[in-house]
Structures are given as structure tokens and as C-alpha cells.
Structure 1
Amino acid sequence: MSNSRLSRRAFALGALASAGGVAACGNGVGSRGSAMIDARVNATLEEMYRQFPNTRQLAERSSGMLVMPLVTEAGLGLGGAYGRGAFRIDNVTVDYYSVTKATGGLQIGAQQYAHVLFFMTQDAVSNFRRAPGWAAGANVEYVISDKGESVNADTTTALSPVLAVVFGRAGLRLGATLEGSKYSRIIP
């Protein structure tokens, strides 16, 4: 009888330890991950508005924004990128996302950059939020030129459902492309 109690007790303790381990593995229970992401998102938006003032106009007209404050991209032959950010509607965080990207070809080095996707229509917001994993493609229009000039929210950019601003820690990221980036909802 004592073996049976010991087995049940060991099983119960093991189950509790496993549950505690799972809770500590980033599912958001007791985590400060969302507060850290939101703080980085706020700082990124302030930096973008300061460097590229015309983006404030885009933010006001957008139906939603995905802000990725820090994406790290590295490669030695094969490469990849990863970052975490928040999706905001009316300047309120409604979801958290990660971005991943795999690249191939001749590449050596690493860089860090931020980017903001402006969803200009409610359909674009709905399609993004319903997708289990949304991939950026050729349908994303960039609103900052390679010369660092910010494009006004005129009819050219207003007709695109998704607009992007990509900038590095030291300013504009030249030749930036988000093509092939995949965005997935996360629980920080």
C-alpha cells in the first residue's frame, strides 16, 4: 500500500513540476514579455515619427499598424532574421507577433533594423489577423525612398493596402525588402 501511495505522490509531484515548467516556458503566465515589447514599440514609433515626420500622417490614416522594433538578421552563406513586435489598432496593442525570414546566397554579417507595416484598409487588417502565418510579398509598398525621402500619403501610396517603413539603428536601411518575411501571432 505504501508503494501505491508513493507512486501516486510521485506522479502528482511530477505533474505539478511539469505544469510549472510549462508555465515558465514563455506562455505569458507571470511574464513581463508583453510590457517589454510594448515599451520597445513605443520607442520605435517615437523614433520613426522623429526621423520621418510624414509617417505620422500614415499612422493616422491606417486601419492598423504592425510595429517590429528590433529585427536581427545574420548570415554566413545561409541566413535568417527574427524579431518580435505588436499589432496596434487605434494605438492600442491587440496582438503580438514574431517575424522570421530565411535567406540564401552570398552573405556575411549581421544587422539590426526596425520596421512598421501600415495596413491602410480594414480588409488588409482582417486578412492579416485571420491568417495563421502572413507572408510579406510584392504587395508591400515602401514609403521611404533609398535617398531617405519620406513619401507623402498621396494617392499613390493611399491605394496600396499595406505600406512599409524599414529603418536601421543608424537611420534608413538602404535597399530594404521584407519579401519572404513571415509573421505569426505569439503569446509573449
Structure 2
Amino acid sequence: MRTISLRTVVMAAAVAVGSMSMVACTTTKTDTAAAPRMDSTTINTRANAALERLYTTAPGSKEMIAKAKGVLIFPSVVGGSFVVGVEHGRGVLREHGTNTAFYSTTGASIGWQIGGQSKAVIYVFNTAEALAKFKASNGWTAGADAQVTVGRVGANSSIDTTTAQEPVVSYVLTNVGLEAGVSLNGSKITRVVE
């Protein structure tokens, strides 16, 4: 008869607790949690809310968005993880304030991690060339198809004007505000045909 070691029991308990915590963990309010499939009206409404949160969180961001050639807004990117993390969300590309296309994003990460969360991810295309390359792609990957600069705020919480001038800048928002230093490299973005 085989004996079960204490280590095996502890690992099994850790897996069970981790799995349960993934279901319960989120960093967005229940009224903003993503549905498995959002329609274009829902995406648009949530995209507006995500932009308003960015404007409130980081002074100067509204002016930056107004000057941008395009902005891609994923209002709710939902992720879950237990050692391997997976994220998915749907969003909208806006050019000069007008919705032009819908997209999905998928990302993965590997490493010791437990939990799940939802966040808003915003890509700002500051040059016509960067936007054109993105739109012409058949599946665009952050970091591979274009360098994506992590958007930063200065000491006064205003948008850092140096990083805001890069061709593509990203901002990640959670319930606690702007998440600093989050690299989106490896995130795959694909156009969704509605």
C-alpha cells in the first residue's frame, strides 16, 4: 500500500485554495466586470468609462488622447492564473473620437502567481505610421510588431510628457488607479468582425 506524504497533501491543498481564490478575486467592481462576450454598445459604454477614469487619474491624459492619431481601449481585460496566467478582453479602436473597429486581446504569462483580476488597458497611437502599421496587421503583438512604451505619470500625478511622445504608449488601470511599470509585451491583438 502506498503512503501519502505530507508534501503531497500540502500541494493538493494549495492547488485547491488557489483554484477557489481565482473564482473570488477581482480588482474591478462587480458592475464593471467583463461578460464573456460584450456587444458593441457595452464595449463603447465601458470604453468611455475607462477613458474618464484615466482622465481623472492622470491629469494631462485627456489632452494627450485628443492629440493622438488613435486610441485602442480594452475596458475590461479579465485574467486568471495559477502558475500560468491568461488574460482576454474585447475593445474598440477610436480615431478622432469615432469608433472604427473592434478588437480582442489575449495574453499569457508564466511564473508563480495565484488569483484573478480585471483591468482596463489603453493603447495610445501617437503617430500616423504606428496606427497604420497596427491597422494593416493581421494580428498585432505588443513588443514584437511595435515597441509599446509603458505610460508613466510624474511626481505631480500628471502624464509624463516624455513617454507620452513615443509612437505607441500603454496605460493599465485597476480599481486602485494607474498601474505603474506594467509591460504588455506579448499581448496579441486581433480585429473582431462584428
Alignment TM-score, normalising by the size of structure 1: 0.76
Instruction: Structure 1: give runs of 5+ residues left out of the alignment.
Output: 1-30
Alpha-carbon distance between aligned partners in 2 of 1:151 and 1:145, rounded to the nearest angstrom: 4
The C-alpha deviation readout for 1:15-49, integer Å capped at 9, x for no partner, is xxxxxxxxxxxxxxxx9811111111111111111
Structure 1 segments of 4 or more deviating over 4 A? Answer: 145-148
The C-alpha deviation readout for 1:37-72, integer Å capped at 9, x for no partner, is 111111111111111121112112210000110111
Offset at 1:169?
A: 1.9
Alpha-carbon distance between aligned partners in 2 of 1:69 and 1:146, rounded to the nearest angstrom: 24
- Residue 151 (structure 2) pairs with residue 150 (structure 1): no
Partner of 2:55: 49
Q: What one-letter code is carried by the residue in structure 1 that aligns with 2:173?
A: F
Alpha-carbon distance between aligned partners in 2 of 1:183 and 1:120, rounded to the nearest angstrom: 18
Offset at 1:151?
A: 2.8
Bigger CA radius of gyration? 1
Alpha-carbon distance between aligned partners in 1 of 2:156 and 2:134, rounded to the nearest angstrom: 28
Superposition pairs of residues 1-188 of structure 1, within 5 angstroms: 33-137=39-143, 139-145=147-153, 149-154=157-162, 157-158=164-165, 160-188=166-194
What secondary structure is seen at the aligned counterpart in 2 of 1:124? helix
What secondary structure is seen at the aligned counterpart in 2 of 1:38? helix
Offset at 1:145?
A: 4.5
The alignment of Structure 1 onto Structure 2 pairs a total of residues equal to 156
Alpha-carbon distance between aligned partners in 2 of 1:146 and 1:174, rounded to the nearest angstrom: 11
Offset at 1:148?
A: 8.5
Offset at 1:157?
A: 3.3
Alignment TM-score, normalising by the size of structure 2: 0.74
